[in-house]
């Protein structure tokens, strides 16, 4: 049964990653791309979780937490940068 | 700068010890004791402005709230999935202003967090002086949906006040419900 | 201790298998939302989903598969980290998106923030000396 689950989740995650990458490539604005990159990181985290569940170990757990924090810091930084540049163009 | 009392700092210290134990994946007493020492040191060295907790936490109300929250996350996730597949580009949204009852930062933050975590609603802007949340709702087509969204947010806030609001907020809420 | 440990094992396996598949589907749903929704703000609603519900289901299946009590606090801490960070980043991106006009006005049935923003922008223009962005809590 685990083999079937692994196939199903692999297909779903691969399609999801493809969708996120298409949005990164096409996304009209920088924020769209950041959002899609965030989703791509979440998909990566999901893949790591599934690896842990199927192979019954916990080696990736800190990696999952680190990925979520990287996604958080990245999107917050970019969002601030975008907002400030547009809002106060003359600021040094 | 006023130091928070031990009672105010206790939730933070407990949380830090739990994180320490979780990171080492070891909940033996000596490890937890060392974690507690580190937590006190961290809380003293990297001093942050104290979060003004009300000192009240109703576990009996918190558990059902968490269960309802999970249920709503599941329902809203399915709804957003359906909208993405069925409606796609034709979806209609709205930005709704929701004035909150409470003026404490903790309550406004907690309500905003819970509302943002439930898919389909997202806090766009916060007005701290009037404690108004501006919420972007997915699939809000008419005035009826706006009222529904606003009621949902106010109900969430009411639940949070019942869990950890101050006595004054709770009294005001009970009066409002009773009236 | 249990009369039929194999049945219990099979049930736990089945539940965690369902959790895994649904969790992966949540990621797929987010990607479909990213591709199908018309503007940044509605895409954000789809994007928060795999990070909250999907991760919850996947961590729960990890916990079910490992069958030891001490992993549950670890998994809970990982999930709570996610719960604390996701709304903040979503709010920051959403706010930047609203302010830089990355939203299609014709898709909104109601916009109660616009009047407030315009009033504040006018006030900021009138008092040029001050930093115009500080009208709301940051």
pLDDT, residue A90, reads 42
Q: For C107-115, what is the mean pLDDT?
A: 70
Q: Do C71 and B138 touch (CB under 8 A)?
A: no
Residue B15's closest CA among C56, C89, C80?
C80
Cα separations in angstroms, B140 against A14, B144, B153, B160: 32, 9, 14, 24
Give A7 to chain C, closest Cα distance, Å.
Answer: 10
Q: In the predicted model, is pLDDT for residue C133 greater than 60?
A: no
Q: Which domain holds residue A64?
A: 2-87
Give the number of domains in chain A: 1
Question: What confidence score (pLDDT) does residue A22 get?
Answer: 92
Residues 6+ apart with CB under 8 A from C135: C120, C123, C124
pLDDT for the residue A10: 92
pLDDT band with cut points at 50, 70 and 90 for residue C127: low
| Residue B128 pLDDT > 70 | yes
Nearest residue in B to C81, CA atom: B19
Chain A CB contacts of C66 below 8 Å: 56, 58
């Amino acid at each position: 049964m685990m083999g079937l689950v692994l196939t199903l989740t692999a297909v779903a995650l691969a399609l999801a990653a493809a969708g996120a990458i298409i949005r990164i490539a096409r996304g009209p604005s920088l924020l769209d791309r950041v959002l899609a990159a965030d989703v791509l990181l979440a998909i990566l985290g999901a893949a790591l979780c599934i690896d842990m569940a199927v192979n019954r170990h916990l080696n990736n757990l800190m990696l999952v937490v680190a990925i979520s924090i990287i996604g958080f810091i990245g999107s917050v930084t970019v969002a601030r940068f975008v907002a400030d540049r547009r809002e106060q163009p003359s600021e040094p | 700068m006023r130091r928070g009392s031990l009672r105010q700092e206790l939730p933070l210290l407990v949380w830090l010890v739990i994180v320490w134990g979780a990171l080492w994946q070891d909940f033996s007493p000596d490890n937890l004791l060392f974690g507690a020492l580190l937590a006190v040191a961290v809380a003293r060295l990297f001093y942050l402005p104290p979060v003004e907790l009300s000192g009240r936490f109703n576990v009996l109300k918190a558990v059902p709230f968490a269960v309802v929250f999970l249920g709503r996350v599941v329902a809203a996730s399915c709804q957003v999935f359906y909208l993405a597949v069925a409606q796609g580009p034709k979806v209609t949204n709205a930005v709704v202003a929701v004035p909150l009852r409470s003026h404490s930062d903790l309550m406004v933050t907690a309500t905003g967090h819970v509302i943002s975590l439930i898919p389909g609603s997202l806090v766009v802007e916060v007005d701290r002086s009037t404690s108004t949340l501006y919420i972007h709702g997915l699939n809000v087509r008419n005035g009826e949906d706006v009222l529904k969204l606003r009621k949902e947010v106010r109900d969430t806030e009411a639940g949070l006040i019942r869990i950890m609001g101050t006595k004054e907020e709770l009294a005001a809420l009970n009066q409002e419900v009773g009236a | 201790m249990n009369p039929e440990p194999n049945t219990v094992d099979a049930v736990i396996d089945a539940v965690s298998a369902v959790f895994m598949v649904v969790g992966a589907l949540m990621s797929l749903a987010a990607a479909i939302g990213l591709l199908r929704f018309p503007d940044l703000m509605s895409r954000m609603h789809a994007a928060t989903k795999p990070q909250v519900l999907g991760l919850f289901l996947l961590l729960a299946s990890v916990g079910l598969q490992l069958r030891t009590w001490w992993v549950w606090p670890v998994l809970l801490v990982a999930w709570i980290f996610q719960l604390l960070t996701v709304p903040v980043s979503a709010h920051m991106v959403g706010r930047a998106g609203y302010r830089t006009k990355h939203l299609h006005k014709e898709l909104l049935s109601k916009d109660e923030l616009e009047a407030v923003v315009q009033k504040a922008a006018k006030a900021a223009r009138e008092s040029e000396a001050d930093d115009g962005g500080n009208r709301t809590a940051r």
